[in-house]
Amino acid sequence: MNDYTLLAKGIALAGCAIGAGLAVIAGIGPGIGEGNCAARACEIIGRQPESKGDVTSTMILGIALSETTGIYGFVTALLLLFFAPGQFMKFLG
């Protein structure tokens, strides 16, 4: 194994680790959005208690949809940590 192959493998592994870290950052957005959604729902229910059922069902649907962004980021990070390095190492020899 020459020095260039070793360097290429190191760069590939570092790229996977950096990419996984950036993908995990995608979990920040849904957390902030879900917190805002729950806060606004509590505020609306406090003002109009009779709309609790409609507000709660809409809030749960919105939170579920926004949570998928965080899950996609998490799955991408797992793939970059556990699947991609093996594929890169096969390619680099």
Instruction: Taking residues 47-61, report their average pLDDT.
Output: 93
Does the pTM exceed 0.85? no
The residue assigned the tokens 């093996």 is 86
Neighbour-count burial of 12, counting CB atoms closer than 10 A to its CB (0-12 exposed, 13-18 middle, 19+ buried): middle
Instruction: Taking residues 77-83, report their average pLDDT.
Output: 92
From residue 15, give the alpha-carbon distance in Å to each of 10, 29, 61, 81.
8, 23, 36, 10
pLDDT of residue 84: 87
pLDDT of residue 87: 84
pLDDT of residue 1: 63
* Tens of pLDDT, residues 5-39: 888 888 989 999 999 999 988 888 888 989 999 99
Residues 6+ apart with CB under 8 A from 45: 51, 52, 55, 56
The answer to whether residues 26 and 68 touch, using CB atoms and an 8 Å cutoff, is no
